[in-house]
Amino acid sequence: MALLDFTTFTEVDPSSDLTVTSDTIEIDSMTRGVAAGIYKDFGAGYFTGDFTFNWRFDFTLGVGRYSATSIFALTPVYSLTRDNRDNASTGFDIYIGTSHENTEIITILADWVTNSADQTNTGYDPPKSFWYTLTRSGTTITLQIYTDASRTALYDTLSINNGAAPAYRYLYAMSSFESSFSPTDTITGTLGDVLITT
């Protein structure tokens, strides 16, 4: 078990929206349309078998009805943004944003290969902090979402089919959508304390 050091990751930040320290990534008014992210190449086949990740995300502000960002992704090949991964049918994502019906926050877990997805019921307006525990066991990925740092107040549990449980190489601690849909909607927040168990 070890906290990920984001200063060892590669930063892509064309609009200067991100501030990176060893254990946090601050997002300041990042648009849906930008191509940005913090990622690391761990080497071919690094993430195999069962694994667990823990982290938190503080959703500070969303401007526009579709403010969103990816707050975790794994892929076998490089694919920087959420829409890139969706279009290329590679890897899986956890992304967060405001729902199109209103301003409430939703988290979505999606596998782009199996087209398996699950999402939270809406229920919280920003600002709101969430603590995540992601587990792959066999061919199933489960995401537990808590509303307290001690992970005792369980908000929701999401689950998807991970197909043949492929090996992954690239980890994206956070990344933008790079979307042409509502490209000027923005999100502000902080991701931090990513703990990995493999």
Q: What is the pLDDT of residues 121-168, one digit of tens each?
A: 878 999 999 999 999 999 999 999 999 999 999 999 999 999 999 999
Identify residue 99 by its one-letter amino acid code: S
Q: What is the pLDDT of residues 13-67, one digit of tens each?
A: 999 999 999 999 999 999 999 999 999 999 999 999 999 999 999 999 999 889 9
Q: Which two tokens stand for residue 182?
A: 């509502």
Residue in 48, 158, 164, 45 with CA at minimum distance from that of residue 113: 164
Is the pTM here over 0.85, yes or no? yes
Residue in 22, 30, 36 with CA at minimum distance from that of residue 67: 30
The count of domains in the chain is: 1
Sign of torsion, CA 33 39 43 49? negative
Yes or no: say if 63 and 155 are a contact pair by the CB < 8 Å rule.
no
∠ at Cα 70 (138, 189), nearest 5°? 130
pLDDT band at 1 (very low <50, low <70, confident <90, very high): low
Residue in 147, 145, 162, 166 with CA at minimum distance from that of residue 95: 145
Note down the domain range covering 51.
2-197
The CATH number that applies at residue 132 is 2.60.120.200
CA R_g for the chain: 15
